[in-house]
């Protein structure tokens, strides 16, 4: 039994916990404002908000309901477009998000519009001061084919302005007062506290579902699943004695917002922005990315370069670089699961970088990605970990390239020479994400980019090519 609040009503559903939130909303509850565009999290027409009660406070995040199993919303508040404005008659009052979208002509055919309105409402509900950049980031998972986005951008600017003076300690109350959201939002925490039942934890383990529900939705929607979100103990990011531990259920957004991560990775914003979109980052888990074993998993490349170790429920602990035996072949028992990821925080002289190029810069799957963590002392490469995705059957830890570089003087010649080794360590194939030749060239370029970006005075493109 799944129990949650949908807009202003309690829902008790006996549908399989693996069935999709989107189908329940549209077909069981007849809330047709939420649209179906792609069923793979790539258009945002099905965006809804999920509100989680944490320490007495509601936190709302936009997610794609087409990839969200019902089990993942147990005990939460689900908000659809219909729940953002309860007035029903023809002359009803639009809330400011809706009003600015109309005034700036941010809607043409209207099919994607609901998703934009929901995402922008999620932006309003954040417990922080509104910035234009955050407004745009909130709609980075929403695709529009009509407007060319400029009118939506203008609306987002007005919405940001209208949020000036938001009381971030009392976000919901302030938004209710300013008529951004209906009054019932204030009653939600208490109502959620009354939900004491627990969702079942049998069936296939599902993290965010953002890969599984793209690959085999038909299989999953008819059965119960074991949702990671029902394992709060797996959601944490800690640092102790120079070792960082990330709970396997942490989402990409959790990393993004983590002060621990922000301290370790000064360019975290840049890196994370290249990984999928806000609604996907809000649900996709790190362990899910590892277990999915896609050769182009962005987070896998990220953590490989940190020489991370993974801990399993059954107690085993291995290096992430040893996890992949072959294409989608993992060193892991079928009934086991990852519980945590650990890595030594990079030293004071260490630098980290993540690079990714895809057909579209944002909200896309990499043609090639790569990450590096490198420590240079007195011009000598003391320690180096380099990863690459999209150039082999698994996410690669470039062992030979690293071995070659370690101990060498950092200069253009070294970097250049290591490329030859790297080219022999990879085996890209031609596919929809690019030809093999392109992927080779691209990895070389991104590998150069690491050094050009991290050591601009020592390494230059001109000398390299």
Residue 25 CA to residue 322 CA, distance in Å, equals 42
Q: Does 157 bind another protein (CB under 8 A)?
A: no
Of the candidate residues 364, 411, 455, 458, the single one contacting another protein (CB under 8 A): 364
Q: Which residues contact 99 (CB under 8 A, 6 or more apart)?
A: none
C-beta atoms surrounding 289 within 10 Å: 25
Sort strands 77-79 and 2-6 into parallel, antiparallel or unpaired.
Answer: parallel
- Least Å distance between CB 378 and another protein? 27
Interacting stretch for another protein, rule CB under 8 A, among 95-103, 263-271, 308-316, 342-350?
95-103
- Least Å distance between CB 386 and another protein? 17
The answer to whether 167 and 177 have CB atoms below 8 angstroms apart is no
- Least Å distance between CB 456 and another protein? 10
Closer to another protein by CB, 312 or 455: give it.
455
Please report the beta strands in 267-337, taking only residues with DSSP state E, as ranges in sequence order.
309-312, 317-319, 324-326, 329-330
Question: Contacts with another protein in 105-144 (CB under 8 A)?
Answer: 105, 107-114, 117, 136, 139-140, 142-144
- Least Å distance between CB 435 and another protein? 4
Q: Which residues contact 33 (CB under 8 A, 6 or more apart)?
A: 80, 81, 82, 114
What is the end-to-end Cα distance of the chain in Å, rounded?
A: 61
- Least Å distance between CB 125 and another protein? 17
Closer to another protein by CB, 23 or 336: give it.
23
Closer to another protein by CB, 151 or 230: give it.
151
Q: Does 158 bind another protein (CB under 8 A)?
A: no
Closer to another protein by CB, 269 or 431: give it.
431
Closer to another protein by CB, 106 or 346: give it.
106
Partner residues linked to 376 by β-bridges: 381
Q: How many contiguous H segments (helices) and E segments (strands) does the chain have?
A: 19, 18
Of the candidate residues 11, 52, 146, 204, the single one contacting another protein (CB under 8 A): 146
C-beta atoms surrounding 344 within 10 Å: 16
Of the candidate residues 92, 238, 377, 379, the single one contacting another protein (CB under 8 A): 92
Closer to another protein by CB, 66 or 125: give it.
66
Q: Does 359 bind another protein (CB under 8 A)?
A: yes
Residue 274 CA to residue 364 CA, distance in Å, equals 8
Closer to another protein by CB, 295 or 346: give it.
295
- Least Å distance between CB 316 and another protein? 29
* H or E stretch covering 273: helix 268-273
- Least Å distance between CB 241 and another protein? 38
Helix H segments across 310-460? 399-405, 412-425, 436-454
Q: Which residues contact 441 (CB under 8 A, 6 or more apart)?
A: none
- Sign of the four-CA dihedral 439, 441, 444, 445: negative
Closer to another protein by CB, 32 or 257: give it.
32
Of the candidate residues 321, 355, 397, 404, the single one contacting another protein (CB under 8 A): 355
Closer to another protein by CB, 195 or 221: give it.
221
Of the candidate residues 9, 131, 133, 148, the single one contacting another protein (CB under 8 A): 148
Size of the site for another protein (CB under 8 A): 96
- Least Å distance between CB 318 and another protein? 25
Q: Does 101 bind another protein (CB under 8 A)?
A: yes
Tokens of 130: 């509104």
Tokens of 191: 């109502």
Q: Is 261 strand, coil or helix?
A: helix
Interacting stretch for another protein, rule CB under 8 A, among 1-9, 244-252, 310-318, 437-445?
437-445
The answer to whether 452 and 459 have CB atoms below 8 angstroms apart is yes
- Sign of the four-CA dihedral 219, 224, 229, 233: negative
Q: Using alpha carbons, select from 369, 364, 365, 362 the residue that is nearest to residue 137.
A: 362
Any idea what the Cα angle at residue 47 is, between residues 41 and 50, rounded to 5°? 110
DSSP 8-state secondary structure symbol assigned to residue 26: I
Residue 325 CA to residue 6 CA, distance in Å, equals 43
Residue 305 CA to residue 371 CA, distance in Å, equals 6
Q: Which residues contact 462 (CB under 8 A, 6 or more apart)?
A: none
Closer to another protein by CB, 53 or 351: give it.
351
Q: Does 1 bind another protein (CB under 8 A)?
A: no
Of the candidate residues 176, 231, 441, 458, the single one contacting another protein (CB under 8 A): 441
Question: Contacts with another protein in 19-78 (CB under 8 A)?
Answer: 30-40, 42-43, 45
Of the candidate residues 70, 384, 445, 459, the single one contacting another protein (CB under 8 A): 445
Question: Contacts with another protein in 446-465 (CB under 8 A)?
Answer: 446, 448-449, 452, 460-462, 465
Question: Contacts with another protein in 393-432 (CB under 8 A)?
Answer: 393, 419-420, 423-424, 427-432
Question: Contacts with another protein in 216-275 (CB under 8 A)?
Answer: 218, 221-222
Closer to another protein by CB, 20 or 291: give it.
20
């Amino acid at each position: 039994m799944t129990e949650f609040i949908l807009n202003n009503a309690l829902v008790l559903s006996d549908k399989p916990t693996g069935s999709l939130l989107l189908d329940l909303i549209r077909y069981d509850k007849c809330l047709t404002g939420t649209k179906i565009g792609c069923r793979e999290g790539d258009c945002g027409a099905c965006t809804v908000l999920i509100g989680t009660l944490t320490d007495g406070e509601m936190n709302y995040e936009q997610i794609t309901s087409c990839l969200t199993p019902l089990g993942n919303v147990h005990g939460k508040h689900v908000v659809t477009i219909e729940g953002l404005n309860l007035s029903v008659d023809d002359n009803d009052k639009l809330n400011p998000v809706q009003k600015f979208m109309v005034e700036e002509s941010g809607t043409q055919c209207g099919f994607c519009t609901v998703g934009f309105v929901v995402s922008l409402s999620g932006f309003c509900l954040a417990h922080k001061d509104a910035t234009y950049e955050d407004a745009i980031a909130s709609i980075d998972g929403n695709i529009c084919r009509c407007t060319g986005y400029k009118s939506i951008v203008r609306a987002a600017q007005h919405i940001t302005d209208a949020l000036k003076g938001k009381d971030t300690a009392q976000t919901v109350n302030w938004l209710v007062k300013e008529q951004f959201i209906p009054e019932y939002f204030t009653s939600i925490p208490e109502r959620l506290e009354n939900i004491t039942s627990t969702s079942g934890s049998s069936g296939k383990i599902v993290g965010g579902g953002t890969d599984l529900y793209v690959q085999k939705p038909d299989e999953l929607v008819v059965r119960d699943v074991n949702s990671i979100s029902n394992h709060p103990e797996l959601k944490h990011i800690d640092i102790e004695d120079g070792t960082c531990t990330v709970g396997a259920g942490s989402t990409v957004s959790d990393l993004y917002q983590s002060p621990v991560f922000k301290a370790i990775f000064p360019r975290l914003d840049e890196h994370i922005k290249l990984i999928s979109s806000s609604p996907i980052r809000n649900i996709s888990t790190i362990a899910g990315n590892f277990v999915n074993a896609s050769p182009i998993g962005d987070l896998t490349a990220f953590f490989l370069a940190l020489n991370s170790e993974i801990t399993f429920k059954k107690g085993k602990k291995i290096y992430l670089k040893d996890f992949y035996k072959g294409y989608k072949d993992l060193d892991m028992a079928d009934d086991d699961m990852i519980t945590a990821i650990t890595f030594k925080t990079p030293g004071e002289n260490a630098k980290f970088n993540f690079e990714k190029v895809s057909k579209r810069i944002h909200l896309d799957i990499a043609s090639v990605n790569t990450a590096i963590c490198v420590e240079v002392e007195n011009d000598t490469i003391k320690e180096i970990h380099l990863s690459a995705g999209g150039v082999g059957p698994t996410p690669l830890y470039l062992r030979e390239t690293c071995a070659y570089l370690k101990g060498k003087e950092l200069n253009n010649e070294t970097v250049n020479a290591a490329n030859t080794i790297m080219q022999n360590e990879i085996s890209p194939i031609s596919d929809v994400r690019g030809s093999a030749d392109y992927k080779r060239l691209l990895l070389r370029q991104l590998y150069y980019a690491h050094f050009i970006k991290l050591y601009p005075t020592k390494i230059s493109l001109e000398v390299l090519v």
